Amino acid sequence: MEGLEHSLWIVDAFNRVFGPPLALVLGFVGIKVPDPLHAVPDYLVMVIIVAVLIVVLLGLASRKPALVPRRRQNIAEMIVQMFEGIIVDIVGPEGRKYLPVIGTVGIFIFSCNMIGLIPGFMSPTSKLNVTIGCALVVFFYYHAQGVKAQGLKYFKSFIGPIPVLAPLMIPIEIISHFSRPVSLSMRLFCNIFAEELLILIMASIIPFFLPLPFMAVAIFTSAIQAFVFVLLSCIYLSGAVAHEEEH
């Protein structure tokens, strides 16, 4: 949370350990790092921390699966079933094959949103670079799956139902598709940035009990933003792989 204006302690510690070696390696390929102690930006350090935490926690939760699941396995199965339900409802039963990517994106975004509520940390999704990266993953993935499902016929959807209108429809479709990652990234970034800024301001005015209600609301909005991102990703994916049936 403090990372909106000042460097976080964990970012400083990370750069003290990894900054100089990274600057040395980058120097070999002609990239000069002015200050090795600030070689890795705060949001990238937080992305690395979130990724490691996800791998470790989900790895532990899925370790030694039992026929009768216990607490950790129950949590892991609930997460999988939740994402599977969203995908199946929107894409259909064949959409289960998209679960690994959609589920990973959803868990990553939710974790990035939530980690900023811990004092001394920040939400990587409060930085536009991170939200654009997530949106581009979805953008390229649903196009790739559309081509995989339909081959080059996938691009017929850009022409529209009436070939005569193709000169008009193609620019509209291109603008429509490229606006999707912009919309996904900006929506997530603006909401999480505003959420962190509000809590930080309230904590600086009254540092004890007043920020707690805002933090409770932030937990809810963090979950909602991750859900909306996943929901829209599934809608885009459904449209990409179902064009052939529609036409």
- Contact indicator for 42, 196 with CB cutoff of 8 Å: no
- Residue 210: which pLDDT band, with cuts at 50, 70 and 90? low
| Range 72-91 average pLDDT | 90
Helix (H, G, I), strand (E, B) or coil at 123: coil
**pTM, entire model:** 0.87
Q: Token pair of 209, please? A: 């009990």
HSE-up of residue 128 (Cα within 13 Å, Cβ side): 5
Which amino acid, one-letter code, is at 238? S
- Per the structure block, which two tokens stand in for 212? 């707690």
Q: Give the separation between CA 131 and CA 137, rounded to whole angstroms.
A: 10
* Cβ-based neighbour number of residue 4 at 10 Å: 17
- Of the candidates 128, 113, 131, 133, the residue with the CA atom closest to the CA atom of residue 1: 113
The first and second tokens of residue 225, run together, are 């933003």
User: Would you place residue 187 in the very low, low, confident or very high pLDDT band (cuts 50, 70, 90)?
Assistant: very high
Q: What is the pLDDT of residues 24-73, one digit of tens each?
A: 998 898 888 888 888 899 999 999 999 999 999 888 877 777 666 677 77
What is the tens place of the pLDDT at every residue in 148-159? 998 888 888 888
